Every structure is written in structure tokens, then in C-alpha cells.
Chains A and B, each alone.
Chain A
């Protein structure tokens, strides 16, 4: 083959490849419009040469529950990720009508065989039905499973009250944090007590959660306990404490203002930020008796002063500053 023929062959191959790909794209589009899925019923895992179409599995679950249950439970333990995912999707769809599908999802969570975020999301959606099945999982040996189970129980106040307080002593910080979150969400009367205790937890994630819980349950009652955490070694805890105190609104002022005189600069600046965010700074602008505003500026720094001045210039106020003014006036 001489050079010219070679060139022609290369040109033909390249042109042919392009034409074929163009054709593949256009034919694929045309077929996609007309495609209807075959409804082959599968009865054994081994038959799944291709990942199953979830609708077929759901149909099977409705027509032959026993076979579907066995099939889906087996496939949840498969080595093929698509198969496990398909099983979770099908179980989630069937769980609206069949209790055995809820059991399957709980088992999937317990075995951590499939993405726990996905499984927990489905179980959460199905509340209140999975509740009693979830309670035993708070004692599961795997801390990941325990943490998900504890968080899921937040939709079941009675179960949460019964099983979750003990989890605030769990060796895993994830579980302790989740326990506080659940007690808060479930409105447990014990939430504040546990939160105040865990403000001294060695793990910052738990301390941060304790701040949020304490503030959510009773910002007013917990404010004094939260102030020292404005100087915590962890930024996340300091932020959580600040946000928690802001939640308490102007009721926090009385416990936060003394912190402006602290020897700890972190505590002073944290206190200044809280007073800014609850609107205390804006309320004092133009009516600063006894140099309170200057003390806040001194603790909060140049940017806090600048931001307050700009807000005042634009007539803006933060937080419940207006409410504070109104209360003071009354």
C-alpha cells in the first residue's frame, strides 16, 4: 500500500467512524422515544444479568410478597453495588404498603451494607411506622448504626424518652451528639439536664451540640452556662455558643455583658459579637449611658465599631434590638 492509498484509508476510517457515531446518536434518540421496558419477572438473584428495573421489583413485591422479600433481602447482601441500590429503592417503594419492606430497610441500616444516608432517609420518610423496629438499634455494636438509629428516633418522642438518654453516655461522640439532637427535637424534659452536663464533654462536636440543645430547650435558663463556652478552644463550639446566646435574645444581655470585662480576649470578643447579633449594640447607638457601647466596641474591635456605624448610617438594626428598646421604654 503506497502513501496515497494509506491516506485514503485513514480518511475513510475517520469519516466512517464519525458517520457511525452520528448515526448512533440519532438512532439512540429515536429509540429512546419509543422504548418500553420489558416486564420480565425475575425470581432468583442469579437471573439478574442486568440490574433490575425497580418497577418490576415493586410489581413482584405486590404480586408475590414472599418471593420478593427473599429476593430483596438476598440482594441487599450482594457484592454488586447496583443490586444493593436497586433493593433499597424497591424496598422504599414497597414500604408504604408492606411491613416486611420496612424490616428490610431496618436490616439494611443495621448491616450498613448500603449507603446509610440513603437508607436512613427512607426510614425517616416512613415515620411513624418503623419506630419500634429502630429502638433496638441504639444498642448496636457499630457506632455509625447507633448514631443513625438515635437520630431517627427524634420522630418518636416516647421511644426517644425511653431509649435515648442513656445514649448521652455513649463512648462515641457521634452518638452522644445525636442523642442531644434527638432529645431536643423530641421535646424531652431531660434534654436540658443532659445538654448542660455535656457542655463539658471532651469532644467539641458534642459541646457544640450541647450548646444548640440547651438554647433550643431554654435559652433563658441556659444562658449563664453558655457564656464560658464563648472562649472554648474550638471555633465550632464558640460559634455554637454565640448562636445559642443570640437565640436567647436580649435575655442573654445580663449574663453576657459582664464577660466584656474578662481577662480572656476570646471571651470578650465573643461577648461583643453576641451583643451585636442580638441587637444590643444597635439599641445603644445614640443612647449610650455609662459607656456601655464603648466597652462593647473595646471588646469587639474596630470592625465591630465600623459595622455598627454603617448600620446606623443606613438605618438598619440587627436581631431584636427594636424589641429591647421597646421594653426599656415601657
Chain B
């Protein structure tokens, strides 16, 4: 086979892969648009905040695992306690932090050391002590030996008293109406066993949602804008479609509500994976499909809060390579579900989607890059073809992002027009100044996964502006 033939085959393979990927994403976008329209109609006829004033609202335990979260945690806990919901508690688990996380919490939230009791439903590391707020009985802080995020969540489950648990990240600043909106979906449909919801990201979450009600809007500095594109696409053009087709494969770790009995039935979050969220969602599907029980894992478009986005490319790559590792670990652990009709849409649509869009993506990204360099160097790809192909990919990606943004906009038109216009201006640049780094993160994550690296590689939190 000549070099030219090999190159042509490589180009054709890459283009076919891209076409397949676009087809899947556009398909999901259309499903998501239909679902968004249905939800809008439904919302127009309902009082979406009715639950926040009802004594019949089911109780929720908010679980906040924290490791070296001194900078972010006090704001997150304060915002959680300010949530407008009739019945909830906040359980913070200090997972053996090496910084002053616990000391800051004690100081800023008026904590008093106490002894408390717990159930021992899930195995966890040893508990060192308990703290209760002197001013708010809904807050319990558990101090324990380090065991990772999953272990911290399981510890919190052992202390939770309500029927539903809401696992969140320690940097999440909540919108006041977040729980009422999310729980509305659960009380409306008893088949919903788990749920996630959209959230924004910013450099300093507390500054982005200062009063818990009004979002300042997305950060339009390029690094944060590109991350916002990822979040908007992930929730609006992917998860909403997944949920509609009943294969919502990732309840995001930053905001995931589950029925507590299901968490206990599954023996809690697993410590053997790099991250806990995707793996747990897969396990929920596996268990309930095996049992043949009707169930639903929902994904909502309501913005429930703001989390911190990495403010340097180095941190971002560290985060994304970790995500890549956990996707690989999870898909490998659940490989028997792939194309297995027993698991319905999860096995027949969800798993293949993940494999194509996440697992083999680094292979094609590297192949495309090598092909391009080789093609230009050998003169087989001329400048004109290169430019038109690049433009086509740029437009296609921008269209997908705009489709997702349109769905977000239909939800409430919360972004100022100037920010939306700035987003439009940045969209074409994403392919050139952002995607290569994300490609590198995926390659790095794949390599580390093959080396069985399961470390979190936690990076430093952003420096806060001082808003509390």
C-alpha cells in the first residue's frame, strides 16, 4: 500500500468518525430540543417553586465531602444552609484534610465539638470527631481519616436521616431554589430514583451568585467561556437527550440526588475508581436493569448553582485527564453492558455513545493530527482543502455549541445579550486554542489509566476575590 493510499484511508477514517460523532450529537440535540420544549410547556402550567413552601416536601440530606477545601468550603456550606427548602440537613465530611479546612469551618460557622452517633450501613474509614453548629442545628460536620471522596460520601450517608441524599462538590455555591426545583421532578414522578441538574462554572462561585438568587452570568474570559461551552453542551445537548431516552449515564458529582435506600442497596459509592459519579450512575442502571424495575435517572436544565472552574490550563488538563481516566475505568468495568439488549438503551445506545465519543476519541484525535501534518508535508493536502475542511469542522462545532446554548436560552434567557454575543465570537476559536489541550488531556488520561493510576491529582483552588 502506497503512502498516498494509506493517507487517504486515514483521512476517510477520520472524516467518517467525525460524521458519525456529529450525527449522534445532532440526534441528541434534536431529542433534547423536543424535551426542552415539553418541559417549558409543563413549567408554564405549574408552580415550580410550590415545594419550597410545603410541609409535605420530602426531606433531603445534603452530603458535602471535603478534602483540602479551605478556600471554597465555608461559602459552599453557607449557601447550602440558605437553600429555600422546608426540610433538609447538611452533612460536611472533612476527609482528613491536610490544610486548615476544619479550623476555618469551626471559626466561620460557629462549630462546637460534640459526640454523635451514626448508622454503620456502609464501611468507611475511622471517624475522628463531630462538630455541630451552635446556630444552625441542620449542620453536622464529621471529621475522619482520609479515604477519598467516595469514602467521605459513604460516611455522610451513614449519618443522613432523610429519604433522599444530595451529593455535591465542596466548591458548589447553591441557588436558593435549587432543591425545590430538583425535588419537584422527584415528587412528580415516583420512578425517578436519581437526578442531576445543570450548574455553571466560574473562577469564584460565591462572587458569581452573590445573593443566591441572581446569577451574575457566565465568565466570558476565554478559558472559562470554553469550559462553559463544555458544561452547556454536556447538559443541554447531551444529558437531557440521554435522560429522555432513559440512559442518563452520568449524574454529575457536583450535584446528584439519589434515593438513600438505593445508595445503601448498592453499598454506596465505590472507592476503587478514580472518581465516583459516573461509576455510581452506571451501577444504578446495571442493578435496576438486572432487576427489571421501572426507574428513571433524570437530568434537569435548571441551574442549581455555580462550581469553581480551573483558572489555569494546567489545572484544567489535570481535571480533564482525571475525567478521561474514570470514563475508561467505568466503561471497562461495565463492558458486559455494551451492546447487550438486556440493558436496554443503556447497553444499546448509551455505552456505544460513550465508547465512540470519549474512549476512542483520543485515537482519532491523534490520527487526525498525524494525517494532517503528513498530508500537508507531502503535498497531498493542499492549502485550499485544508482551509475548507477546517472551516467546516469549526462551523459544525460552533453549530452544536449554539444548539446547546439555544436550549439553555430557552430555559430562562438568563445570560445578558452582550455575553451571548461574546460567546458567539469565541466559538470558532475553540477548535484551535482549547480543543488541542483537551485532546492532550484525554491522551494523558488514557495513558495514566493504562498505568492504573487512580490518584485524584487534586489541584490548588483558585484565589478568591474575597466575596462571601
Contact = CB atoms under 8 A, between A and B. Distances in A.
Interface stretch (A15-23, A59-67, A163-171, A248-256): A15-23
Interface in B107-163: 112-119, 127-130, 134, 161
A311 B111 CA distance: 10
Nearest to B134: A316
B388 A25 contact: no
A117 B58 contact: yes
Contact of A120 (B42, B56, B116): B56
A254 to B, nearest CB: 22
A269 B117 contact: yes
A318 interface: yes
Contacts of A125: 53
A328 interface: no
A18 B50 contact: no
B42 A124 contact: no
Interface stretch (A131-139, A188-196, A218-226, A234-242): A234-242
Most chain A CB inside 10 Å of its own CB: which residue of B58, B112, B114, B188:
B114
Nearest to B188: A115
Contact of B47 (A11, A92, A124): A92
Contact of B388 (A8, A116, A235, A301): A8
A52 interface: yes
Given A301-B115, A316-B112, A28 B56 contact: no
Nearest to B58: A117
Nearest to B111: A316
B395 A11 contact: yes
Interface in B391-417: 391-393, 395-396, 398-399, 402-403, 405-406, 409-410, 413, 417
A277 B392 contact: no
Interface stretch (A78-86, A99-107, A285-293): A78-86
B112 A117 contact: no
A115 B115 contact: no
A307 B129 CA distance: 8
Contacts of B127: 303
A216 to B, nearest CB: 15
A68 interface: no
B115 A300 contact: yes
B168 interface: no
Secondary structure type dominating chain B contacts: helix
A54 B130 CA distance: 49
B388 A28 contact: no
Nearest to B408: A25
A50 B41 contact: yes
B54 interface: yes
A118 B56 CA distance: 8
A273 B42 contact: no
Given A117-B54, A121-B51, A124-B56, A21 B45 contact: no
A316 B385 CA distance: 75
Secondary structure type dominating chain A contacts: helix
A263 interface: no
Contacts of B128: 303
A81 B42 contact: yes
Nearest to B19: A10
Nearest to B116: A273
B420 interface: yes
Nearest to A311: B113
A17 B417 CA distance: 21
Given A11-B391, A82-B42, A239-B161, A124 B54 contact: yes
Contacts of B384: 4
Contacts of A10: 392
A81 B38 CA distance: 11
Nearest to A208: B161
B262 to A, nearest CB: 18
A17 B134 contact: no
B337 to A, nearest CB: 30
Nearest to A86: B45
A21 B112 contact: no
B56 A148 contact: yes
B112 A304 contact: no
Contacts of A81: 42, 188
Interface in A105-159: 115-118, 120-122, 124-125, 148, 151
A25 B112 CA distance: 52
B266 interface: no
Contacts of B354: none
A15 B335 CA distance: 38
A7 B413 contact: no
Interface string B44-66: 11110011011111100000000
Interface in A8-40: 8, 10-11, 14-15, 17-18, 21-22, 24-25, 28-29, 32
23 contacts: A3-B385, A4-B384, A8-B388, A10-B392, A15-B392, A17-B399, A18-B396, A32-B413, A81-B188, A82-B41, A82-B42, A85-B42, A89-B47, A117-B54, A121-B54, A121-B57, A125-B53, A235-B118, A239-B161, A242-B117, A272-B115, A273-B117, A276-B115
